[in-house]
A and B are shown apart, each in its own frame.
Chain A
Amino acid sequence: MNVLEIRNLTKKFGDFIAVDNMNLSVREGEIFGFLGANGAGKSTTINMISSLLRITKGEIELLGRNIVKESKFAKMNIGIVPQDLAIYEEMSAYENVSFFAGLYGLRGSLLKERTVEALDFVGLGDKHKALPKSFSGGMKRRLNIACAIAHRPKLIIMDEPTVGIDPQSRNYILNSVRMLNRMGCSIIYTSHYMEEVEEICTRIAIVDHGKIIAEGTKEQLKSIITDTKEIWIGVKKEDALDLEALKRISGIISVRLEEQTIKIVSKAEINNLNWIIQQLIKDQVEISSVEEQAPNLETVFLTLTGRNLRD
């Protein structure tokens, strides 16, 4: 059964089409990765699912019920973890969670129980009286999650929940996502960290220019790009490196430099490694390593959109 069903969804801002006739479904019990570069239409779609933006055309169904016609039902069953921290700094962790949970109709002892449960779940049970301004970035992110789950939604939308936090907090959050999923929540997860998406998502959709350009499991997506390969060349001195010259070499799709590693995506059938090496020697670049990568989501994304996810 599908938790979420999006059919022919379109959103226009004046003449600009942010989401263009999108079709998408999220199955019950899935952690669904929703990938797109900035401005691809990802946030607009999420905002329409959350009823924050009106739909120009098309429809969205949550658990088989239209979210416009049954807005209250939809809102009751969705939890949203926004990319930006959406908490009150001057209110305690408990007050934050309790306030938002109260808006979902929880009252009295049930409200207290669910508030404590949500805080315990994100590991802030012992900090319930503390003000968020005394929290680290990771703790604030966890509180941001607690505010979205106390009312036990069926679908949780997590928009970049791990931005700007330390690896320990990131691991905690990723484990929390898995645990929520095991508890029966379906999750829509967006991130700029491709390795996170690869690690936790069961299915992934890539959105570009307001349209879904690919959808499937990690393996299905990777199989799309069997016609490309990725070569990583470690370099020590890259001062004289001419990336444009590399891009002109036959078969090369994209070239980027990341922390002394040249990452080259090329057509698989063309053997152009010798030309690449020759160009680097010509540029007097000192090579430390050369390796061909197995295709990953990053490569898939780059190949399909022509852009890096962080662009």
Chain B
Amino acid sequence: MNVLSIAIFEIKGHFRDKRTFVFMLAFPIVLILILGTALTNAFHNGISVGDMKLLYQNSASNPQLQTYWNGFANAIAGQGVELTPASPGTDGREAVKDNRYTAYAEIDDSGIRFYGSGRETIESNVIQGMLTAFADKYNLAAAAAKISPEAAQAIVVNAVAGGSFIRETSLDPDRKPGSIDYYAIAESTMIAFYACMSASNLIRAEVRRKTALRLAAAPVSKLEIFAGKVIGCTFTNFLCIVAVVLFSKYAFNANWGDHLGIVFLLLFTVVLLAVSFGLGLTYIFKGEAANSVMLIFVQIASLLGGAYFPIEDASGFFDRLTNLSPMRWANNALMNMIYNGDLKAAFPVIGLNAAIAAAFLAFVAVTLRKREAF
């Protein structure tokens, strides 16, 4: 009962403190918004294709080629390519150089000559691909016509009707995080780990404001006080993380996947790990040294964990270094869960976090028992 009273009192105290709202709620939400918006391009999955304007000069006399070309022109016009026949005396290459057209094609009985824009390379490559497909189909149809005119006709009709000069394919862009998605995860785990800062103050604040003396004089064991404070601190920080996750999900449309329960369980173990780590450090290092060590560790772990920018393709020593960051474990597990549907990725991290937290808490509990005061 005393543990519960102390935990509730701790939670009340945290929520009365404006710093809790600023640091644990406003700060991560603003970070998600700023980093997610500022680094949108770094996470963009597609490439936008601008207007495609093809200038062409058709001087072919072969009626079959003329027919095929007209069919092709209609087909690609339907797909957004603007075709313009070159007027006599027009230098098509100059027109492309001047960026008035994306590409210039000369069609005659001997074949197609293509000049693409050096500026709009994507658009010119798309048109080149279409023309290459057309040339291949025409060559195939021409070769078939020598043997079976019906087969040749079928090839041309199918090619034009299907509009399949370029086939759209996708690398499953929906299964990759956008910037907001990424930073929602990264900042949530970072702030979850920042719980170590408030944990470092759990006992020290009592000593500083002298209430430790009153607590110690009360008929409550140190372990009850310790347990109540740890529960209160963990719960407060976890509630803040839940708020951040839900806010990012509904206000920013961040993707948190379909298994929020396991996401929250994993984040809870990150908070528990952070709280126990923060407490542990205050009993390993004396005075302000603990805070300094913790601040340095959290900053480096945030950096290596990808809180400020994604760490991808890390290898060798750097890869091993990044794996020391608890935020990296959590982020990878969350990414795997959300984007690969790999729920099993969460459980080793949950287990590891809980085990490390238990070790730190046991260390603090034993140290506390040995000490005369707090």
Smallest beta-carbon distance B233→chain A, Å: 15
User: Complex: how many Å from CA A103 to CA B216?
Assistant: 10
Segment among A82-90, A163-171, A303-311 that sits at the interface with chain B: A82-90
Closest A residue to B224 by beta carbon equals: A103
A103 and B12 form a contact (CB under 8 A): no
Does the CB pair A51–B9 fall under 8 Å? no
Cβ–Cβ contact A100 & B216, under 8 A: no
How close is B240's CB to chain A, nearest CB, in angstroms? 17
* A103 pairs with B211, CB closer than 8 A: no
List CB contacts (< 8 Å) of B1-21 with chain A: 1-2, 5-6, 9, 12-13, 16-17
Q: Do B211 and A88 touch across chains, with their CB atoms under 8 A apart?
A: yes
Chain A: interface residue total (CB-CB under 8 A):
30
Q: List 22 A–B pairs whose Cβ atoms lie within 8 Å, in order of A's numbering.
A: A50-B217, A52-B216, A52-B217, A53-B372, A71-B219, A76-B219, A80-B214, A82-B210, A82-B213, A82-B214, A84-B210, A86-B211, A86-B214, A87-B209, A87-B211, A88-B211, A89-B209, A90-B17, A99-B5, A103-B220, A104-B218, A105-B219
Nearest A residue to B2 by beta-carbon distance? A103
Across the interface, do B9 and A99 meet the contact criterion of CB distance under 8 Å? yes
Bound-state Cα–Cα, A84 to B215, Å:
14
Q: Which of A71, A82, A90, A102 contacts B5 (CB 8 A)?
A: A102
Q: How far is the CB of A84 from chain B (nearest CB, A)?
A: 4
Task: Flag if A95 contacts B12 (CB, 8 Å).
Answer: yes
Give the nearest-CB partner of B17 in chain A: A90
Question: A residues bordering B, Cβ < 8 Å?
Answer: 50-54, 71-72, 75-76, 78, 80, 82, 84-91, 95, 99-100, 102-105, 107, 147-148
A147→B16 contact, CB < 8 A: no
Task: Give complex CA distance A88, B10 in Å.
Answer: 11
A53, B373: Cβ atoms closer than 8 Å? yes
Which residues of chain B are within 8 angstroms of A51 by Cβ–Cβ distance? 216-217
DSSP majority for the A interface?
A: loop
Chain B interface helix/strand/loop/mixed: helix
Q: Using Cβ atoms and an 8 Å threshold, which residues of chain A touch B5?
A: 99, 102-103
| Contact present for B210 and A103 (CB under 8 Å) | no
Which residues of chain B from 193 to 223 have any CB-CB distance to chain A below 8 Å in the complex? 209-211, 213-220
Assembled-state Cα–Cα distance A82/B207 (Å) = 13
B13's nearest neighbour on chain A, judged by CB, is: A90
Contact of A85 with B210 in the complex, beta carbons under 8 Å? yes
Given contacts A86-B211, A91-B9, A91-B13, 9 further A-B contacts (CB under 8 A): A53-B372, A54-B372, A71-B219, A75-B218, A75-B219, A88-B13, A88-B211, A91-B16, A104-B219
Report the nearest B residue to A81, measured CB to CB: B214
